């Protein structure tokens, strides 16, 4: 049904543009609205048939609730090069006219990594476009009115970088985007329109040494992959559900934040059904035991979080062994560090198990309920960390006390204000202590004070009301206050530098 709707919508939009192009207009004029009636409606009714029935009016389809991304990529797997045709149908939900569109282009952070061949808006060249680092600004030929649509088409080439490890004086930050000797990872690989905040402008933060700086609107993704050499095709892990196709790989993801892919000729795969969701575990040879452990943990966490928070929104979830030392979440897919697989002992008392639960929880607290990950990272990271506790108390209750001592070792490490931005922590470890660990402790104290029933009712309501949206700290505390009459102001003051 979704594909049929998209086709109808795009066909109507194309027809409107074709009709508009037949009439002369000045470049600064406002485009005519989509036709809402046939030409017969405008013609006078013949005098001889005053009671003739009116010609039925075909209603104009409503614009989509979120942006639609169509990505058609041809991959030279050995050369680590992609050519991409991208179409973005962007609905202006800002409530005001927009004179430009701003897109994040992360591949341009690598020299020569992004080459833009062409750009068009509604089939015509834009008034201007400028790319500076990760920021692509497209100046529109005429304002995009509130509620109107723009169709943006881009053609570009990606030259993938070799994954490296970047360091600051204290910390190590792995690079996920790019390739290693046994893996290609496409994360934040396509230009996407960043959120627009009325009164503030486009929400695109600068990259940092740790933490996530990007903020995403929800969108739908239709992705096609083709390979230059179809005889040598890697195993592919993706954010979306695979759709049968001929001579290509076709994926679809509805209402997600990102669309990620990981490919390797060495991947082995296991899967498991959880209700109507298929969980996949992708891992390298010699890691079958660890890969199976990830599959079981992810499947169990998916079921537990569905009961405690709300239903998982997608048809698939892929857990991927990363050829790097980090864990990272994307819509419908997450990575786990290769070192976690090395240290797995077959029990839940290790990082492979608890971080698998953590990254699974990000499908609720990041993908469905988004937030500003740079300025308010606690909104997803503290909830995902506390979700590790929720997982263990349901699946392995005897290990909860172990978890507190393991995650908070040494005990004095968990300090710092929970509402610390990624730019203000002073290093990765202080950032982890404040946002993740102190954030989890904050949720435990709130839960203890208000009781389990109100606490989980609050989380379920938070998930329901902000699904598909972007949560702010103010909204978090407003919804919390609706679920308890107990005074928690002292707890909030203990953990936050700027309490509400």
Structure tokens at 230: 């179809």
pTM: 0.86
Q: What is the pLDDT of residues 9-60, one digit of tens each?
A: 333 443 333 333 333 333 333 333 322 322 223 333 333 333 344 555 555 5
Long-range contacts of 20-28 (CB under 8 A, 24+ apart): 27/141, 27/142, 28/142
Q: Are 433 and 426 in contact (CB under 8 A)?
A: no
Largest interatomic CA distance in the chain: 93
Q: What is the pLDDT of residues 452-490, one digit of tens each?
A: 999 999 999 999 999 999 999 999 999 999 999 999 999
Sign, CA torsion 157/324/403/413: negative
Q: Are 258 and 69 in contact (CB under 8 A)?
A: no
Structure tokens at 43: 């013609």
Higher pLDDT, 44 or 166: 166
Name residue, tokens 């922590």: 425
Could you give the CA distance from residue 231 to residue 371 in angstroms, rounded to a whole number?
42
Could you give the CA distance from residue 35 to residue 39 in angstroms, rounded to a whole number?
9
Q: What is the pLDDT of residues 213-262, one digit of tens each?
A: 999 999 999 999 999 998 889 999 999 999 999 999 999 999 999 999 99
Rg (alpha carbons) of the chain, rounded to whole number: 25
Beta strand 470-471 with 370-371 is parallel
Residue 37: strand, helix, or coil: coil
Q: What is the pLDDT of residues 57-100, one digit of tens each?
A: 555 566 688 999 999 999 999 999 999 999 999 999 999 999 99
Q: What is the pLDDT of residues 172-212, one digit of tens each?
A: 567 899 999 999 999 999 999 999 999 899 999 999 999 99
Q: Which helix H or strand E contains 84, and what residues bound it? A: strand 81-91
Contacts of 223 (CB under 8 A, 6+ apart): 69, 70, 71, 73, 238, 240, 250, 251, 252, 253, 259, 261
Domains of the chain and any CATH numbers: 378-495 (1.10.390.10)
Structure tokens at 165: 């490890």
Structure tokens at 78: 């050995």
Could you give the CA distance from residue 457 to residue 465 in angstroms, rounded to a whole number?
12
CA proximity to 308, closest of 357, 378, 375, 235: 357
Task: Count the residues in the chain.
Answer: 500
């Amino acid at each position: 049904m979704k594909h049929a709707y998209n086709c109808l919508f795009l066909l109507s939009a194309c027809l409107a543009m074709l009709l508009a192009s037949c009439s002369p207009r000045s470049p600064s004029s406002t485009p005519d609205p989509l036709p809402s009636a046939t030409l017969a409606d405008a013609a006078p009714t013949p005098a001889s048939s005053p009671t003739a029935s009116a010609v039925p009016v075909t209603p104009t389809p409503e614009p989509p609730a979120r942006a639609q991304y169509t990505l058609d990529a041809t991959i030279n797997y050995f050369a680590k090069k992609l050519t991409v045709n991208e179409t973005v149908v962007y609905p202006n939900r800002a409530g005001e006219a927009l004179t430009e569109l701003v897109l994040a282009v992360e591949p341009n952070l690598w020299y020569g990594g992004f080459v833009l061949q062409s750009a068009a808006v509604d089939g015509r060249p834009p008034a201007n476009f400028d790319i500076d680092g990760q920021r692509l600004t497209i100046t529109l030929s005429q304002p995009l009115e509130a509620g109107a649509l723009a169709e943006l088409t881009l053609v570009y080439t990606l030259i993938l970088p070799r994954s490296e490890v970047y360091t600051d004086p204290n910390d190590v930050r792995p690079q996920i985007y790019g390739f290693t000797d046994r893996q290609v990872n496409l994360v934040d690989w396509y230009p996407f329109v960043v959120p627009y905040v009325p009164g503030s402008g486009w929400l695109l933060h600068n990259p940092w040494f740790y933490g996530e700086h990007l903020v995403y609107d929800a969108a739908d993704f239709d992705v096609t992959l083709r390979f230059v050499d179809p005889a040598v095709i890697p195993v592919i892990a993706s954010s979306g559900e695979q759709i049968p196709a001929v001579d290509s790989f076709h994926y679809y993801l509805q209402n997600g934040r990102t669309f990620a892919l990981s490919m390797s000729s060495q991947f082995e795969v296991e899967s498991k059904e959880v209700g109507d969701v298929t969980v996949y575990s992708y891992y390298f040879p010699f890691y079958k035991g660890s890969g199976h452990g990830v599959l079981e943990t992810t499947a169990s966490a998916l079921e537990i979080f569905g009961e405690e928070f709300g239903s998982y929104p997608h048809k698939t979830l892929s857990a991927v062994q990363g050829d790097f030392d980090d864990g990272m979440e994307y819509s419908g897919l997450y990575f786990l560090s290769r070192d976690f697989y090395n240290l797995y002992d077959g029990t839940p008392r290790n990082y492979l198990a608890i971080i698998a639960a953590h990254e699974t929880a990000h499908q609720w607290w990041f993908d469905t309920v988004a937030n500003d990950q740079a300025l308010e990272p606690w909104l997803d990271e503290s909830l995902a960390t506390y979700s590790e506790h929720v997982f263990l108390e349901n699946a392995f209750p005897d290990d909860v006390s172990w978890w507190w001592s393991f995650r908070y070792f040494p005990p004095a490490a968990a300090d710092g204000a929970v509402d610390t931005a990624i730019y203000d922590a002073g290093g990765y470890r202080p950032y982890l202590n404040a946002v993740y660990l102190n954030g989890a402790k904050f949720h435990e104290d709130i839960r203890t004070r208000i009781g389990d029933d109100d606490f989980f009712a609050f989380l379920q309501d938070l998930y329901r009301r902000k699904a598909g949206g972007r949560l702010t700290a103010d909204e978090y505390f407003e919804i919390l206050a609706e679920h308890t009459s107990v005074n928690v102001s002292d707890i909030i003051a203990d953990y936050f530098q700027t309490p509400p």
